[in-house]
Structure 1
Amino acid sequence: MPRAGRDHAGRLPVSVAQDGLVRGLSPPAPERPQVPGQHGLPGLSPLEGRVSDSIVFNRRDFLRLVGIGVAGAAAGCATPRSDRLIPYLVAPNDIMPGVAYWYASTCRECPVGCGLLVKTREGRAIKVEGNPQHPVNQGGLCARGQAGLQGLYDPDRLRTPMVKQGGAWKPIPWDEGLTLAASKLGEAIKAKRGVALMTDHAPGSAQALAAEWAAAAGATHLVYEPFAHESLREANRRTFGRAEIPTFDFARAHCVVSFGADFLETWLSPVGHARGFAAMRARRDGSGPFVSVEPRLSLTGANADEWVAIRPGREAVLALGMARVILTETLRPAGPDHGRLLDAVASYAPEMVEQQTEVPADTVRRLARMFARQWPSLAVAGGIAAQSEQSVALIAAVNLLNHAAGNTGETVRFDRTLDFDAVASFSDLQRLMGEMSQGRMDVLVVQGANPAYAVPAWAGFGAAMDKVLFKISLAGTLDETSDRCDLILPATHALESLGDARTARGVSSIIQPSMQRLPMFDARPAGDTLIALAKGAGFGGRFPETWADYLKAQWAPIHQRLGAGRDFPTFWNDTLKNGGVWEPEAATPVRWAGTPAFATAEPKGAGDLTLVLYPSATLYDGRGANKPWLQELPDPTSKAVWGSWVEIHPETAAKLGLKAGDPVKVETEAGALELPAYLYAGLRPDVIAVPLGQGHTAYGRNASGRGVNALALLSPAQDAASGAIAYLSTKAKLARGIQAMDLVVTQREKDQHDRGFAEVVPLTALLAAASASPGAQVTARPQTPAGHPEEPIPPLPSQTRLGTHTSPLAPVPGRKAPVHAITAYEPEQHTRGPRNLPIDQGSYGKAEHRWAMAIDLDACTGCAACVVACSAENNVPSVGPELIKRGREMMWIRIERWEESLKPGASDVRFVPMMCQHCGDAPCETVCPVYATYHNPEGLNAQVYNRCVGTRYCSNNCPYKVRSFNWFDYAAPEKETFAFPEPLNWQLNPDVTVRNKGVMEKCTMCIQRILEAKGIAKDEERTLRDGEFQTACAQSCPTQAITFGDLADPESAVHRVSFGERRYWVLNELNTKPGVTYLKRVRRDAGLA
């Protein structure tokens, strides 16, 4: 009976016999016995193993002895290799080794449902990218979406059904598990006892099946999502008559004011918002200012031109004050609702607004006039600021502001609404918990939700759940909710399942398996499990036999509507190929339905500090906590990893004698926690902030025991109008803690000290340069709306105009720069002729390309999607908090955060993606004693791993500090945490070497993608096309801030971008001639006037 074997890279199983031999191959020949003295050295005693005293060595024998000794010592240091390579015995017909296959699917790491393209090699999913055709994300993908691959290969996934016996989990076969669950369901239904089905938010066929299942069983169905946007839906119902979530068109807006909405992090659709936001910022017509109104400067606020540090809970007052100025001064044409709106805001004069919000009256007027004149504009309210006890009033006030400014139907549209209609409010969950607590529920089935972790302790979900007689979990991992159940029937991961997602009106996305189910995980699709339970319990007559049949039946109406004459199999195959079907947006008129009552709410409890709890930009609500890529991804504000912290204003910390990293006790009326202190000037002195997402008691090795669950600090409070939980409702007090704890951060210094790492240019200077150079070339970034040019680009120099280009750095006297080091600031040293013709590169005269990169800091939001994309593409290991604490992180890209000003007003925070600069005159190359790092003919700073001996001279000599050293063999199979524990090693990219201990590594500009594209072009007998391949970081960037290509091609995008007015090079004074050009961030002070 053959057994399954697999190599170190996690490739597909191959057939290996029990004795370890491949059948059909000859066994290894037995070793010949060694004859003493035969082929040995003279005088070497086989018994004593030493050289005889009487022997005299000649030179040849001595060298032979030394050679054997060196070889033996080297062999002892070598990495153990596999004994034999085992080929396919029967090659699969649909897989060609070495060729990547792509499958369209949908991301399920958050409710929005971005389109995916899943890359597979030899039957394994190894990378996910955004689907450029998908209307939600248009090819971009956030860090959480990139890390979804680690959920598929999670070593802590449940491997078989489990039943709890005597408080311990025991494996159980599937048929026994289904029989047990069906019998419990049948008994409860027959006795007319309560049954409840709780699912996560999965709009589409899965949600329809759950609703039908509950109706057939007479059960209660509740769709649970921790951030359900109840207040947004209720406010829209009261003001627009539509309890829906509209489309916020950032790309069309000329000005944005955010009232606490972290739309670049976790609010609604961050990737889609980021793409639109970058389009707005790309305009160079004087528009595009962004103002953030919030008590804590979030990542979204860090991208703003102005920060209004408002009192927590008073955002609605400012919105109404701005609306009053617009209406009283008639800054926009008066509409039919002008009178009603003016009556509603009559009492909100700027002076009164100043008293309640601490925002000066002149600032209120200035913001209102800017908001009205930069039309169409956009105001959004969401995030934690919109989850107070008066959150509906805040969003209604912002709706009124948009309506007064004429933005309804322009930048606030209801033509492609997000589908949150079925998601329950927190009040709905409380009603279900009440029935559970009273013993009315005999059976509870939980699919995909984890309320035992995400619901605050004061609500008592855990205690209510314990009152249910029998609890069934359809989960993939043993999370906190599953751990409280009696039976677990494991569900497959989205990347190995069939399904769909209809997250927005007119957007029907497909979820398809990108690979076969992993053999070590005996899981089934949740839809198949629900159907089997219904049939086993006697109420499944209406359901087909399989989940796939149900899914296709759900798509029959879509086929009738959009089939365009195709039969269903053809339509279905086209849908699988494209990732879904997208209907055109239908114009939806919106009217003003009424003006609700406005009110404010003050946080409650003892203490003089307001507690702000916010969803983590990396872990979201905690569902990403068991993915090491996300745990090791630095928080965009604190740069902390693998834990929790409390943000404290330096003035507040000084009063308590606290410094960064000190233990702090945070106490509220709900409880107390100790956390390390992070001193952050980007919040009000009367505010402290703690991120959510950590503090798991289950969920896997990377999540359990990391940090704290900050929900333990939340006071019992809700918004009465919507039933939403009020996250911004708690007062707190601080004291010095007693537990020693570490704050592990990757960047401690955030002051540039005038070193020019991140530079800015005023928008007024760009506009002046444009008017002064009427003959200049004008370009726009790809996401720039038509008719809105970027900045002028001076005419490019050529060989016929030598000396007309002024380099920002004068050449060093007596030193001739290598002519092959082509850079954007040395155009006179090479020919910019027809594309892809050989260019003059010194000793590399036949080289056709000069690979380079340009990074637009005005488009970069600091989201760090590029960091995870790079790790996924290049097999970068996660090393864990202990090694990061010692400065041994391994990521090839870091997002540097530089805080020029965190004061309220014109705040200035800059983000710089920093990777290997691929210098034309690289300091690392000159110090390597074994030539492991060198400059290749196409301008890349290459690294030869098997030549590297680990001196680390290159790292010491690199001014950018972008090289990482492998202190351990992170890919060793015995490692159970971090790196690649089985089966996490299945995700490794076979095109990229897995580095060993003692090897230096860094960014390669995805050389494997370059070589793949060259091979395809060669096979097709053509030259490379610009843009036909991208680096992993450029491909994932939601804002298209990174441009990669051939700098020697004058028609390439990177060539055009690299010669803009905003170009500069980091540490340019060192004359390293970087291959990465940065574009300065644009400061829009004039737009705020």
Structure 2
Amino acid sequence: MSDSTVFQRRDFLKLVGLGVAGTAAGCAQPPANQLLPYLNAPVDVLPGVPVWYASTCRECPTGCGVVLKAREGRIIKIEGAPDHPVNRGGLCARGQAALQGLYDPDRVRTPLLREGPVWKPIGWDEALTLAGSKLADAVRVGAGVALLTDHATGSFAALAREFAAAAGGTHLAWEPFAHESLREANRRTFGVAEVPNVDFAAARMIVSFGADFLETWLNPTGHARDFAAAREPGRMAHVVAVGPRLSLTGSNADEWVAVRPGGEMALALGMARVILTENLGPGVAERGALLEAVAAWTPEAAAAAADVPAETVVHMARHFASAAPSLAVAGGIAAQSEQSVALCAAVNLLNHVAGNVGRTVRFDRTPNWDGAATFGDLQRLIADMAAGKVDVLFVHRANPAYATPAWAGWSEAMQRVSFKVSLSGVLDETAALCDLLLPSTHAIESWDDAEPARGVWSMVQPGMQRVATFDARPAGDILMGVGRAAGLGAAWPETWLDYLKGRWRALQARFGAGQDWDTFWAGVLQRGGVWEDVPARPVRWTGTPAFAAPELRGAGDFALVVHPSPNLYDGRGANKAWLQELPDPVSKAVWGTWVEIHPDAAKRLGIGQGDPVRVETEAGALEAPAYLYAGLRPDTIAVALGQGHGEYGRYARGLGANALALLPPAQDAASGAVAYLSAKAKVTRGTAAAPLAMTQRVKQQQGRGVAQLIPLTALGAGAGGHGDRAAGGHGATGAAPGHGHGRGDHEGWGHHAEYPMSDRPGRHTEPRAKDPGEKVPAHAITAFESNEKARGPRQAPVNVGSYKHAKHRWAMAIDLNACTGCSACVVGCTAENNVPTVGPALVQRGRDMSWIRIERWEEKIGGADHRTDVRHIPMMCQHCNDAPCETVCPVYATYHNPEGLNAQVYNRCVGTRYCSNNCPYKVRAFNWFDYGAPEKATFAFPEPLNWQLNPDVTVRSKGVMEKCTMCIQRILEVKGHARDEGRDPRDGELQTACSQSCPTQAITVGDLADPESRVSRLSRGSERRYWVFNELNTKPGVTYLKKVGWAAGEEAHG
């Protein structure tokens, strides 16, 4: 080696020193620009203590009651209100994800005026003056004015009508899924143009004719709770799904009758004819006329039209009539054809002859669809716009430019309107076509109310001040401000809140007799509204419409089923990362559009899983990856709505395709509703489609017994068998678990009330009769093992293990018979525990971060006997007592804590991932990146999305392993609250995020050291209990209760 190439010692030390200095500099904290003490906190804020406010969810027309959890003046969690009559505690994934709409970084930040192709920020005074002058000009010359909103039902609806009337214009309250066909069918058959109140809990047999009541039909959260009650092992209603596609609702059925697309009506009429001819029902006065109406629908004719065996028609009819009371439902969007009113009328007829009307189909507390516009009403507005009859258009919380088919002509008609104003808080497709944007506040930061059902007046109150990043105003104040600027002269009060209070003063005499206004108003805000019982209105059969089978348009070998997305609904949830990364409950795909196709049809076409396919109809075409799914008829394909946005925000824009592009110009003949089931399609291999990102690719258990089932006849009659869910309920009623010592100030922005602590689940008034300092005997945790020996041979209850725990042993029991696979628990966990989203590219690489997943196991789907066995199982950290992960961690980052939890210490973790490799349940997630590098503006927490983070939970960093902690922060909160009151935590007081959000109360959490606790009784006394991979001797802290199924030949009878 020459001297010129020798690396001198002095140079080496210089280089090392420079490297050390650079490293040290990189580790330094950035200087703080400003440090301010939190001395003058708002009166409602006590640092570290949550405050809860009752409100109403506005993510869909259902109007579920919610409670908003505030910490230090910002909302960090949305949960279902336990006493609200619409949802009674649970809350769907979409409702919980409303938090991301509040902190959406793509919200409009200030009023905007279009100048050519660009938007110019302007002030509010200038914006209101401009809108008012345009409105005044239109009113002066008698030009048309229109206001289009969503289906508002409360005070804002009244203001909208007053605004439109003062301007001499029209107001349309329009929803893409407005159930026009169901309302029209009820008008024709019962004389009541309303949506009925259906009682799933009372039904002994449930038949869904294309109505996905666990996903998007009417009130999925409330229906799920009632459905779980109907499926309790002690009563066990028999459930049949009728339709060409097995949806999430269908996967919870015992049978799937795969009728030809559009064949649902024929099957319903065939069943009704059998009941009438064999005198199986209670008898109806119109028997002769009804027999004449269904004379042509013999079992053979119905079977031919529906493409099912005639024996199926007869068997279902006899079963339906004998299982009194039974229930049939229809009117789902996926089955909405050109004869959808006829389908709903046929199902009404079936319920009528079976004696269900007045029992499981009632017109008492019915969903409120008064004043809801039909698609025909929207078409008339479009025609007026296209003809130049509308000079000024206002749009609020409606997006017809995206949510209507292209043939409706909305976007073209908007170009003929002289001045268009959007009150949208986001730049969606309709707002992008407007001339002026007046951004309105989000529901979580607004005053409002709703009347979601008869006898229910629900309050919407802000849980926090307006997010400072966005200079928005309440929509009511905007309309009144524009009206004043136009000189309309309406006698409106100064503010929208004053207007709202004025309408509630009218209710005070009804619900607050003897109370002064302040007392009544405070009670309304604390409870979240007022409600009353509504007597059932008797209805009679008023007429039988003509029945005709629908026909599909176009050429092609496949019928096209277009259905709402369970996660994104009609597309309004598309700009929320939580919902985009939430796996679809059927395909387990995320972040995009896919085409469901039967494996046999795919094989015939040479298409494999994830291959790009092209779907063509007479209306249009799209390309998307294929998802091979046996839950479809081989002659059918299916595509979900909700994707394909051209605007709306970074999480929605340019993702997937809009399935509305495939729909031909077809409408229901009677109601005018869009016929989503109307097209035949041609399917070929595509050329370019986004890859299919899935979180679960194998859906067969292959004998591993992950999700287990027990036949109903194998259950005993004791409390551990049929009565599992009846004994003591399933956990608490499901509301906010916080304590909330806020003051509930009633002035200024804080003029709203904290949700009352005594009304929250688990907040019982009397403490348990037990000395708070009492020690639990060492044998208490394992005492049940001796009882098991006396009970006889059964799966060995070794899951408690040999640990001598401290006073508590926290555990969980999950009832697979109650779990519907809705994934509300997944979003609840994500929101509570600051779980990041990573985007489609990393999901494809298996880098998804969710702490809890819903596994879908397809044991049997349909066939000649129609039997279906699909099982959903929530899978999270099992908190094993002999945890394989604990023994392999070299730095003790994961360890067994004194209360039985498998804990994770983030600042010890060095990222070896040994724990994940050794976990047989695969429930650990590793932070491969500092999310969201390299797309930090999208998949991290861009301002103000970071405001959603829970301050009680550490935000993890790159190189750290994470997993379910059983919401240890909530455990500490419950223990601290009990300690302050000098008692032990009560059974049911602890609610983890997943158990609280579950609409069916399938998840029970509690103290296994307490032999009287609900979780102890389920884990030790139920004959349905089992532990996943029990043969590995990991001794899990999570007990599962087997799903209960009907054996072949079993039926439910009344």
Superposed, 1:389-788 pairs within 5 Å as: 389-766=338-715, 769-770=716-717, 779-780=726-727, 782=729
Letter in 1 for 2:1031: E
Give 1:777 deviation, angstroms: 9.1
Cα distance in 1 for partners of 2:509, 2:29 equals 60
Among 160, 174, 177, the alignment partner of 1:210 is 160
Letter in 2 for 1:989: N
Query: What is the match of residue 96 of structure 2?
Result: 146
- 1:322 equivalent to 2:271? Answer yes
- 1:228 equivalent to 2:189? Answer no
Cα distance in 1 for partners of 2:448, 2:265 equals 41
CA contact (8 A) 2:838 2:932 kept: no
CA contact (8 A) 2:233 2:724 kept: no
Query: What is the match of residue 103 of structure 1?
Result: 53
CA contact (8 A) 1:288 1:1087 kept: no
CA contact (8 A) 2:830 2:836 kept: yes
Give 1:175 deviation, angstroms: 0.5
- 1:161 equivalent to 2:120? Answer no
- 1:136 equivalent to 2:86? Answer yes
Pair 889,129 (structure 1): closer, same or farther in 2 beyond 3 Å: same
Letter in 1 for 2:931: Y
CA contact (8 A) 1:809 1:1069 kept: no
Superposed, 1:257-268 pairs within 5 Å as: 257-268=207-218
CA contact (8 A) 2:1025 2:1040 kept: yes
Cα distance in 1 for partners of 2:32, 2:904 equals 25
CA contact (8 A) 1:508 1:582 kept: yes
Letter in 1 for 2:918: N
Partner of 1:1014, secondary structure, is helix
Give 1:79 deviation, angstroms: 7.7
Among 991, 996, 1014, the alignment partner of 1:1053 is 1014
Query: What is the match of residue 1031 of structure 1?
Result: 992
Give 1:335 deviation, angstroms: 3.0
CA contact (8 A) 2:282 2:353 kept: no
Give 1:1029 deviation, angstroms: 2.3
CA contact (8 A) 1:264 1:271 kept: yes
Among 805, 808, 819, the alignment partner of 1:860 is 819
Pair 777,557 (structure 1): closer, same or farther in 2 beyond 3 Å: closer
Give 1:1084 deviation, angstroms: 1.5
My pick for the range that moved more, 413-422 or 510-519, is: 413-422
Rg comparison, structure with higher value? 1
What's the % identity of the aligned pairs? Answer: 67
- 1:946 equivalent to 2:907? Answer yes
Give 1:423 deviation, angstroms: 1.2
Among 372, 377, 380, the alignment partner of 2:321 is 372
Query: What is the match of residue 851 of structure 1?
Result: 810
- 1:241 equivalent to 2:227? Answer no
Give 1:776 deviation, angstroms: 10
Among 790, 801, 814, the alignment partner of 1:804 is 790
Among 863, 876, 888, the alignment partner of 1:927 is 888
Superposed, 1:203-352 pairs within 5 Å as: 203-285=153-235, 287-352=236-301
Query: What is the match of residue 992 of structure 1?
Result: 953
CA contact (8 A) 2:994 2:1003 kept: yes
Among 1030, 1038, 1045, the alignment partner of 1:1076 is 1038
Give 1:806 deviation, angstroms: 6.1
Pair 635,484 (structure 1): closer, same or farther in 2 beyond 3 Å: same
Query: What is the match of residue 787 of structure 1?
Result: none
Cα distance in 1 for partners of 2:304, 2:934 equals 63
Query: What is the match of residue 69 of structure 2?
Result: 119
Pair 774,118 (structure 1): closer, same or farther in 2 beyond 3 Å: closer
CA contact (8 A) 2:232 2:726 kept: no
CA contact (8 A) 2:65 2:86 kept: yes
Give 1:775 deviation, angstroms: 13
Cα distance in 2 for partners of 1:49, 1:262 equals 74
Question: How far does the alpha carbon of each residue in 1:419-468 deviate from its partner, in whole angstroms, 9 at most, with x for none?
Answer: 11211111111111111111111111001100000010111110001110
CA contact (8 A) 1:102 1:117 kept: yes
Partner of 2:176, secondary structure, is coil
Letter in 1 for 2:128: L
Query: What is the match of residue 170 of structure 1?
Result: 120
Query: What is the match of residue 767 of structure 2?
Result: none
Question: How far does the alpha carbon of each residue in 1:787-814 deviate from its partner, in whole angstroms, 9 at most, with x for none?
Answer: xxxxxxxxx965876843667567xxxx
Cα distance in 2 for partners of 1:131, 1:773 equals 30
- 1:975 equivalent to 2:961? Answer no
CA contact (8 A) 2:574 2:651 kept: yes
CA contact (8 A) 1:797 1:805 kept: no
Pair 361,862 (structure 1): closer, same or farther in 2 beyond 3 Å: same
Pair 754,974 (structure 1): closer, same or farther in 2 beyond 3 Å: closer
Cα distance in 2 for partners of 1:1081, 1:505 equals 35
Cα distance in 2 for partners of 1:743, 1:85 equals 47
Pair 355,266 (structure 1): closer, same or farther in 2 beyond 3 Å: same
Cα distance in 1 for partners of 2:149, 2:641 equals 22
Give 1:971 deviation, angstroms: 7.0
Partner of 1:1033, secondary structure, is helix
Letter in 1 for 2:646: T
Structure 2 residues not aligned, in runs of 5+: 1-8, 732-781
CA contact (8 A) 2:177 2:333 kept: no
Pair 740,612 (structure 1): closer, same or farther in 2 beyond 3 Å: closer
Structure 1 residues not aligned, in runs of 5+: 1-46, 54-64, 785-795, 811-823, 831-840
Cα distance in 1 for partners of 2:690, 2:1003 equals 38
Pair 997,808 (structure 1): closer, same or farther in 2 beyond 3 Å: farther
Cα distance in 2 for partners of 1:958, 1:682 equals 32
Query: What is the match of residue 847 of structure 2?
Result: 888
Question: How far does the alpha carbon of each residue in 1:666-723 deviate from its partner, in whole angstroms, 9 at most, with x for none?
Answer: 0000011111111111010111000000000000000000000110010110012111
Pair 698,800 (structure 1): closer, same or farther in 2 beyond 3 Å: closer
Question: How far does the alpha carbon of each residue in 1:611-649 deviate from its partner, in whole angstroms, 9 at most, with x for none?
Answer: 000000000000000000000000011111110010011
Letter in 2 for 1:295: P
CA contact (8 A) 1:531 1:540 kept: no
Cα distance in 2 for partners of 1:52, 1:916 equals 49
Q: Which has the higher contact order (CA 8 A, sep 6+)?
A: 2
Letter in 2 for 1:107: C
Give 1:94 deviation, angstroms: 2.8
Query: What is the match of residue 937 of structure 1?
Result: 898
Letter in 1 for 2:272: A
Question: How far does the alpha carbon of each residue in 1:80-112 deviate from its partner, in whole angstroms, 9 at most, with x for none?
Answer: 686885422433333110000000000001100
Question: How far does the alpha carbon of each residue in 1:565-602 deviate from its partner, in whole angstroms, 9 at most, with x for none?
Answer: 11222111100000000111212211111111111111
Pair 389,871 (structure 1): closer, same or farther in 2 beyond 3 Å: same
Partner of 2:490, secondary structure, is coil
Give 1:327 deviation, angstroms: 1.6
Query: Given the two structures, how large is their TM-score scaled by the length of structure 2?
Result: 0.91
Query: What is the match of residue 775 of structure 2?
Result: none
